[in-house]
Chain A
């Protein structure tokens, strides 16, 4: 699985958009980009994933560059409850034999009032 690079920490004002970048320059053609977050004292929460098209759901948007070497997770209106560690993970298509997630150190997002 390709390696990812994320900033160690970021701040965001409540109500503003939080843009979390991730570099994955060695990503291969069949690898997806997944985003999870971990709020203190909870298990990781799945946010979104994508292959090459931009994706949006009720939680966030995922923007993947055309060359797929980087992506940005966007929380459109950050709230205090979005304070968490955000993990960007690159892995191949899920299958019954290879579904392993390799977690890096992630980005600690602090949303302030």
Chain B
């Protein structure tokens, strides 16, 4: 399966600031996704990152708060904007390599906001 690298692996940020998380894959993939995992909770899908067009957001998530880019078939970024302590979570990138292939996940970015 594809090797998925997320940067940074963890960060501590001040409230009101923004952080951009990168997801790099070692091979071209058809689909990329961003998930959030709040402390002690399961994963929740934030959005589907579409190559060359605007991301598709799930209910409860908006572009102004979580802008996403996907300039090519191996790279995507998620920005967490104007952070508050409630944004403290693990943010995970996942990819699909082709039709009827399972999703594979990166190890996530552990974000703490003070």
Which residues does A use to contact B, with CB under 8 Å? 34, 41-46, 49, 87, 93-96, 99-106
When the two chains form their complex, are residues A87 and B31 in contact, meaning their CB atoms are under 8 A apart?
Answer: no
Contacting residues, chain A, for B107 (C-beta < 8 A) = 41-43
Contact flag A43-B103 (CB < 8 Å), given A96-B31, A103-B42: no
When the two chains form their complex, are residues B42 and A104 in contact, meaning their CB atoms are under 8 A apart?
Answer: yes
Number of A-B contacts (CB under 8 A): 52
When the two chains form their complex, are residues A87 and B42 in contact, meaning their CB atoms are under 8 A apart?
Answer: yes
Tell me the minimal C-beta distance from A5 to chain B in angstroms.
14
Say if the beta carbon of B66 comes within 8 Å of chain A.
Answer: no
When the two chains form their complex, are residues A46 and B1 in contact, meaning their CB atoms are under 8 A apart?
Answer: yes
Pairs across A and B, CB under 8 Å, 9 listed: A43-B94, A43-B107, A44-B94, A46-B1, A94-B96, A94-B101, A99-B31, A102-B45, A103-B43
When the two chains form their complex, are residues B103 and A46 in contact, meaning their CB atoms are under 8 A apart?
Answer: yes
5 nearest A-B residue pairs (beta carbon): A43-B105, A103-B42, A103-B43, A46-B102, A43-B107
Tell me the minimal C-beta distance from B55 to chain A in angstroms.
13
